[in-house]
């Protein structure tokens, strides 16, 4: 059998890929209001040699350098990899071409340049950047590895990436398998410019209500910084092993983990223990939220004695949480989506997110083109809610998206 090779040419150019998005931004007048993308990504392993230098343990630093990053998968040997064909057998070509995209000069870090390009083309004023391979790091069997990589990444991004552009923010990864190390990370990095909160990856088996985490939540609450739970999937999950298609595990995996952690968060009364702590549920879509509201309310009304800290129904606590929009389910039934928005108080709690450059990313038009939203609510979801949550200034006091940024 002969295998056909695929030429990737000069590689990817974000500006060409997002040319249609740029036309959308102009047609819809995004330059007239602030847009905040609360969940975008970079591929931190493309800068692995830089990050590895920040690993404090000489032994782990040596292992990081010796293992390097696979040229085939882009994975570091220190980060667990995921099973799954995200590029659809090569048909989503930007996955294999991503690492070939060229930066212009060396004065500005390549990651910063690529992030700026995407923001400018989509009409985004602020973006909150997250890692990609590290979303699997919570499953590393060696806790010290998670801590070492998390600290190195925190140092690298706060020293090499965030200082280059005040419109690029992050919620730093917490090595949640080590509560003390997580608390230390909050104490050390909470005041760093560009850090607007902290994030827990949800593919892990430590219950969020465990008493060892209470100091972390208290520290975040005292500092007024949000805590995000960023979803992912795991085909190695025992229940997911029954699924024989990537489409199936991707559909169920992302909401699965956030449902578990949110249930523990609510039923164990953490909203009552930390009433001022803002919590964000990231990258699990929206359809699962009304389902879980109804299930938990139904159980609570029959067995409220098992949740003695609760002062109201679970769904009422859930309406106080924040949710990122992507991937917003396109079911064809607009009434279902409209009701979902009403149930989660989207006007005040929904945060636009693109998830760019992942294969299923959403442009701002996913929100802006909804027929049941008026202009005021569209603008709140696309940026206003995030500005209030993260303490961001109105970008339009500085000018349209990308205007004050170096064009790259």
> How far apart (Å, rounded) are the C-alpha atoms in residues 329 and 347?
18
* Res. 401 pLDDT band, cuts 50 70 90: very low
The per-residue pLDDT for 67 is 53
Mean of per-residue pLDDT scores for the chain? 90
Q: Are 171 and 197 in contact (CB under 8 A)?
A: yes
202-254 pLDDT, tens digit each:
999 999 999 999 999 999 999 999 999 999 988 888 898 999 998 999 999 99
Q: Which residues pair with 381 in a beta bridge?
A: none
Dihedral, CA of residue 253, residue 257, residue 263 and residue 268, to nearest 10: 170
157-200 pLDDT, tens digit each:
999 999 999 999 999 999 999 999 999 999 999 999 999 999 99
- The string of DSSP codes covering 330-396 is --S-HHHHHHHHHHTTHHHHEE----TTSTT---THHHHT-TT--HHHHHIIIIIHHHHHHT---GG
**Domain definitions of the chain by residue range:** 23-397
* Res. 72 pLDDT band, cuts 50 70 90: very low
pTM of the model: 0.92
Q: Which residues pair with 230 in a beta bridge?
A: 201, 282
Domain 23-397 sits in CATH at: 3.20.20.140
The per-residue pLDDT for 400 is 43
* Res. 279 pLDDT band, cuts 50 70 90: very high
């Amino acid at each position: 059998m002969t295998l056909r090779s695929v030429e990737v040419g000069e590689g990817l150019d974000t500006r060409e890929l997002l040319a249609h998005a740029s036309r959308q931004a102009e047609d819809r007048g995004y330059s007239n209001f602030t847009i905040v993308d609360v969940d975008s990504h970079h591929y931190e392993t493309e800068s692995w040699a830089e990050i590895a230098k920040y690993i404090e343990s000489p032994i782990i630093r040596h292992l990081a350098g010796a293992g390097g990053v696979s040229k085939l998968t882009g994975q570091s040997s220190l980060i667990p990899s995921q099973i799954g064909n995200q590029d659809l057998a090569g048909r989503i070509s930007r996955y294999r071409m991503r690492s070939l995209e060229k930066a212009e000069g060396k004065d500005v870090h390549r990651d910063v340049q690529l992030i700026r390009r995407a923001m400018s083309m989509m009409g985004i004023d602020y973006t909150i950047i997250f890692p990609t391979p590290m979303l699997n790091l919570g499953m590393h069997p060696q806790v010290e590895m998670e801590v070492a990589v998390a600290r190195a990444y925190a140092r690298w991004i706060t020293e090499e990436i965030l200082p280059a552009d005040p419109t690029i923010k992050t919620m730093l990864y917490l090595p949640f398998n080590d509560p003390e190390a997580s608390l230390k990370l909050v104490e050390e990095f909470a005041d760093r410019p560009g850090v607007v909160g902290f994030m827990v990856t949800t593919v892990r088996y430590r219950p969020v209500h465990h008493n060892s985490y209470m100091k972390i939540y208290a520290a975040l609450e005292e500092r007024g910084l949000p805590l995000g739970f960023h979803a992912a999937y795991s085909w190695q999950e025992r229940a997911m092993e029954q699924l024989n298609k990537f489409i199936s595990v991707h559909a169920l995996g992302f909401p699965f983990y956030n449902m578990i952690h949110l249930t523990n968060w609510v039923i164990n009364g953490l909203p009552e223990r930390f009433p001022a702590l803002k919590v964000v549920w990231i990258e699990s879509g929206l359809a699962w939220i009304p389902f879980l509201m109804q299930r938990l309310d139904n159980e609570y009304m029959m067995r409220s004695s098992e949740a003695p800290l609760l002062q109201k129904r679970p769904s009422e606590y859930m309406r106080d949480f924040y949710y990122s929009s992507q991937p917003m389910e396109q079911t064809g039934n607009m009434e279902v989506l409209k009701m979902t928005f009403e149930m989660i108080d989207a006007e005040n709690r929904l945060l636009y997110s693109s998830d760019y450059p992942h294969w299923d990313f959403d442009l701002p038009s996913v929100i802006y083109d909804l027929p049941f939203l008026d202009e005021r609510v569209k603008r709140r979801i696309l940026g206003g809610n995030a500005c209030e949550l993260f303490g961001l200034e109105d970008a339009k006091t500085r000018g349209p998206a990308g205007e004050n940024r170096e064009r790259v």
